[in-house]
Amino acid sequence: PKEPSGSLSADSIKIKKEVASAFVKRKKRSSPYEWYFEYYKSPMEQMHERCENYPPCDSLSDQVGFALAYNHFFG
């Protein structure tokens, strides 16, 4: 069904699983190590996200680097 604006609605766009899988390939995990690190972030990655989510730290990290900015605000 068409909407008043002339575009198709999301409900009208349907494709079969077989067709969709031709477009989207899921990455296979080759080891439990890769599976683990896909779900659990390293402490350094957590620190980067903490700094990125705090605008003053993110701004300062662009100027002086991540380590100095993180230590200034959280260290």
Q: Given this model, what pLDDT does residue 41 score?
A: 84
What does each C-alpha distance from 18 to 10, 21, 24, 26, 73 come to in angstroms?
19, 5, 10, 13, 51
Indicate the pTM of the whole model. 0.50
Q: Contact 65/47 with Cβ under 8 angstroms?
A: no
- Dump pLDDT digits (tens) for 15-48: 777 776 666 666 666 777 777 777 788 899 999 9
**Confidence band for 11, pLDDT divided at 50, 70 and 90:** low
CA distance 51 to 44: 11
Farthest CA pair distance, the chain: 57
- Segments making up each domain of the chain, as ranges: 41-74
